[in-house]
Structure 1
Amino acid sequence: MSSPRTADRRRFLQTASAAAAAGLFVGTGRPSRGQESPNERPVFATIGLRNQGWAITSKSTKFADFAAFADVDADVLGANLEQLEKRTGKKADGYKDYREVLDRDDVDAVMIATPDHWHTKISVEAMLAGKDVYCEKPLTLTIDEGKLIERVVEKTGRTFQVGTMQRTESNQRFLKAIALIRDGRIGEIRKVTCGIGGATGSPEIPAIDPPAGLDWDMWLGPAPEADYRALPEMRTGYGGGVPLYTNCHYAWRNWYEYSGGQMNDWGAHHVDIATWALGADDSGPSKITPVSYSLPVDYKNGYPTVADRYNSPTKFEIHAEMPGGVPLIITSEGDNGILFEGTKGRFFVNRGKLAGKPVEDLESNPLPEGAVEAVYGGPVSENHTANFIDAMKSREQPISDVWSHNRMLETCHLANIAIRLGRELKWDPAKREIVGDAEANSFLSREPRKGYEIQM
């Protein structure tokens, strides 16, 4: 169910996209082929291809054709081009520089699965080049990046999907969870706990030459200049085939320079559902309290004092005061998932189960017809890409839009700032700034490295 503000925004964006197609907005670039003929099979390109990049591409070949890939690692690029041809029987062009993808007239939309520190620059430049955008979560590295993306979506009228796939889960557990809450099955919500798991630190990781085929300077991009680091031991299982301890492939999630640790990884999934359930998509917390936390290295003034080890939190318990005074607890302890507690009951949901007495009661007292669809805002799409393409055709925004995503991600970003500074933060969700703390507010943005500024 959309809030009035969300509905107004969507109506604006329909008007904005029509104006953009007519050339009434500066910097929107040429209209995509998808705008000109919405019944055609859209043409996509993927930027950033390891792991999740291929995952979202392979799920999307049912709905779209892929004309191009871009990745700064030649080995990753080559392997994925081969996989695509094997899967679809069609060849795509490969590039190291994503800007060559954005220059193509035949690409309707880009899917972005680079490390987090690249998301905003590529997303903004893609929209200004006339492309719709699907970008993996977490969308941003800082809160101010989120505000910039919102402004560019409004300016260009582009469709923008964020890859928080729990909003479009095929078994609908999370949608059913929100439907239970909206139907009053647990009464008024009194507490929400998001278990997102902890992390581990690392040994000292030496600086070495980057592997052949990897453009390390371009991989760093907007992030601060740094040495490539890795130990010989290799990762196995998911994300395997790269060093277990490194500041590059896969392990970049453990470094604040490129990501936000577990808080922005699993937190971007579960805090999203919790915020949605609380009806706080257009608001946010008023206070963030770091009850306990453990950092793997020493910090001074919010910055790690060494550069040779992982630096994001390994354990934590954060209390966020949400609208209505409802506490949202984000913890590294307990089961991975979300526990909703209300005046009339409680239940737990994650990707494997939806459990508790209110759930058991559905057998004799099912949800009203259409309750899940009401949460989703209409018929539930087959998957996230299908929802994205539907939104491209209608020129609306999809189920996981940039505004709701940024609002929930602000809670995660603020939690990380509170941990880094070791103190409670008061947040003004209307002004979207930290109250009375200039040092903390300095963490809402970060200057890009020279030569990698966003091209507006």
Structure 2
Amino acid sequence: MDPINSSGTPPALGKALNRRDFLKSTAKGAVLTSLAVVGFPTIVPASVFGKNAPSNKINIGQIGCGRIARSHDLAETFKYDQARIMAVADLDRNRLAGGKELIEGWYDKKMGKKGYIDVKTYDNYQDLLANKDIDAVIISTPDHWHAQPAIEAALAGKHIYLQKPTSLTIEEGRMMSDAVRKSGVTFQLGSQQRSVNPWPQFKKACELVRNGRIGKLHTVHIGLPSDPAGGETTEMPIPDNLNYDMWLGSTPYVYYTVDRVHSQTDPYSRPGWLRCEQFGAGMITGWGVHHIDIAHWGMDTELTGPIEIEAQAEFPKKGLWTVHGDYEVQAKYDNGVTMLMSSKNPNGIKFEGSDGWIFVTRGNVGVTSTDPTSGGKQNEAFNASDPKLLTSKIGPKEIHLYESPEQHGNWLDCIQSKKETISPAEIAHRSCSACLLAHAAMKTPGKLYWDPKKELFKNNEEANKLLSRPQRYPYGTNYIKSVGRS
């Protein structure tokens, strides 16, 4: 549906960042002078690294407490004794209360006594970031609310676990990655296929490919699900428990209908916003970040991107939901490898080389019970042209990739050790960028030529307009202000 109102770009206030000036200042690898105005911490919070470190607890604030937070991020973080989840923020008061109840109930059960912790609640995540007792945040919000809170968390000196994708646009993703680098905080993207629990086959597949077990790699096939059209378009009253204006954030104002946000009767089911282009790009980023990240890992292209890309896609002609349906994408990398993505392929990644192939996927296991199903016939989770490849040992002098037992645990360990995580900000940005480039190609006829260093299309100014979106004041990365520091 057409928006009934949208905002232009009024002048920024106070210490707000201007995206164009920010990008200009970093285009040639310069120091982030725009961010330096508000300052970054040069040391990590003392509450994490005191005299008794690493035994100190890492105080964590949970930003967003919907489906993925409850069933995945909180559930995984609860397992680690060094973590203490002490606060939660959400724009839906019902979810906020549910998050507090869930966290407190878990600690009560673990400690064997009632009232072990009083979880602080915040209607606005920026107030959570201003709490100096909080060392780190987990951001489990809708896609259009990823980059801004991540940048603000970096400004506040908070370590960050961010659900994928990193950003709604490539420009704000670049801002986020640079902000994290400048701040020195520990960042982890929720690209948990890199960690060996619960899917060790992804790391093994990439090691086999990087060590030449299938000869010279020339093609990578990726299969991702697609979303159906549909969605109820009827305008509905905004629920009293939902701050809908802030939920829309930087995107244009549109009237409320439940299929545009999340269910109020089944609040932890798969939400409708995942299928609205206003808030994300659809499955090309929803699952694409996972699989392209693994493809980049196996291709040894984690810090770059394609140089050519073209695509075709079907988009709904009616209904509320507007993300792509079936699609085909072809991307070429500077190392000569071609990546072919299609909704008609089995959900997974197939590496093809001169001497054979290796296919890897999750099998029938998803992160949540409402994960989409495969885009084609489901193959075994780990397969190869020669089954003996799958048990091939990686020798001591061969390439051994980063081993992380589990994504959240790796993040917590790296906060304490100050080592880089398995999915740091720049690698996360690059995997998301490749997805957003595919989405731009779906919208643009013909072949696009991409410069991974400058992060611009070489031949198409219309496509370059897709690297950013207008932002609705006062929300968005154009209007970020310092929110206090630990």
Is TM-score (shorter-chain normalized) higher than 0.5? yes
Select the residue among 378, 392, 410 that pairs with 2:415: 392
Post-superposition offset of 1:86: 1.5
Match of 1:294 among 299, 314, 318: 314
CA displacement at 1:157 relative to structure 2:
1.1
Report the Cα offset of residue 359 of structure 1: 4.0
Output the aligned Cα RMSD: 2.7
Larger deviation, residues 26-35 vs 317-326: 26-35
Residue by residue, what CA displacement relative to the aligned partner does 1:346-394 show, whole Å, maximum 9, x if unpaired?
Answer: 121001211124443444x43325968x211xxx333111111122122
User: Aligned to 1:328, what secondary structure does the other structure show?
Assistant: strand
Residue 257 of structure 1 pairs with residue 289 of structure 2: no
Pairs within 5 Å for 1:199-210: 199-203=227-231, 205-210=233-238
- For 1:146-165, what per-residue CA distance to the aligned partner results, in whole angstroms no more than 9, with x for missing partners? 11112212221111111111
Residue in 2 aligned with 1:34? 48
* Structure 1 match to 2:174: 147
Which residue is equivalent to 1:107?
A: 134
SS in 2 for 1:393: helix
Aligned partners of 1:29 and 1:129 also within 8 Å: no
Aligned to 1:94: 121
Output aligned runs, 1:38-437, within 5 Å.
38-39=53-54, 40-54=56-70, 55-63=72-80, 64-89=83-108, 90-170=117-197, 171-203=199-231, 205-230=233-258, 241-242=266-267, 250-290=271-311, 292-297=312-317, 309-352=320-363, 353-363=381-391, 365-368=392-395, 374-376=400-402, 380-437=403-460
Query: Does the aligned pair in 1 maintain the 2:166–2:189 contact within 8 Å?
Result: yes
Separation of aligned partners in 1, 2:301 and 2:148:
27
Percentage identity across paired residues of the two chains: 31
TM-score (structure 1 length as normaliser): 0.85
Q: Give the letter aligned to residue 179 of structure 1.
A: E
State the secondary structure of the residue aligned to 1:324: coil
Equivalent pair of 1:74/1:213 in contact (CA under 8 Å): yes
Could you list the runs of 5+ residues in structure 1 that have no partner in the other structure? Answer: 1-15, 298-305
C-alpha distance 277-31 of structure 1, shift in aligned 2 (>3 A): closer
Deviation for aligned residue 1:184: 1.3
* Structure-1 separation of matches of 2:480 and 2:42: 16
Supply the AA of the counterpart residue of 2:118. Answer: K
Deviation of 1:144 (Å): 0.6
Q: 1:102 to 1:319 in 2, by over 3 A?
A: same
Match of 2:20 in 1: none
- Give distance in 2, aligned partners of 1:451 and 1:104: 22
Specify the code of the residue in structure 2 equivalent to 1:455: K
Q: Given that residues 285 and 427 in structure 1 are in contact (C-alpha distance below 8 angstroms), is that contact kept between their aligned partners in structure 2?
A: yes
Give the Cα separation in 1 of the matches to 2:347 and 2:90: 32
Tell me, in whole angstroms, the C-alpha distance in 2 between the residues paired with 1:52 and 1:217: 22
In the aligned structure 2, how far is the partner of 1:390 from the partner of 1:88?
Answer: 21
Task: Say whether the 8 Å CA contact 2:214–2:354 is kept in structure 1.
Answer: yes
> How far 1:230 moved relative to its partner?
3.1
Asked if the contact 2:44/2:185 (under 8 Å) is kept, the reply is no
SS of residue paired to 1:139: coil
Q: Matched residue of 1:174: which SS?
A: helix
TM-aligned CA deviation for residue 29 of structure 1: 8.9
Gaps of 5+ in 2: 1-31, 109-116, 364-380
Q: Is the 8 A contact 1:230 1:243 kept in 2?
A: no
Deviation per residue, 1:264-291 (Å, 9 max, x gap):
011010011001111111221011111x
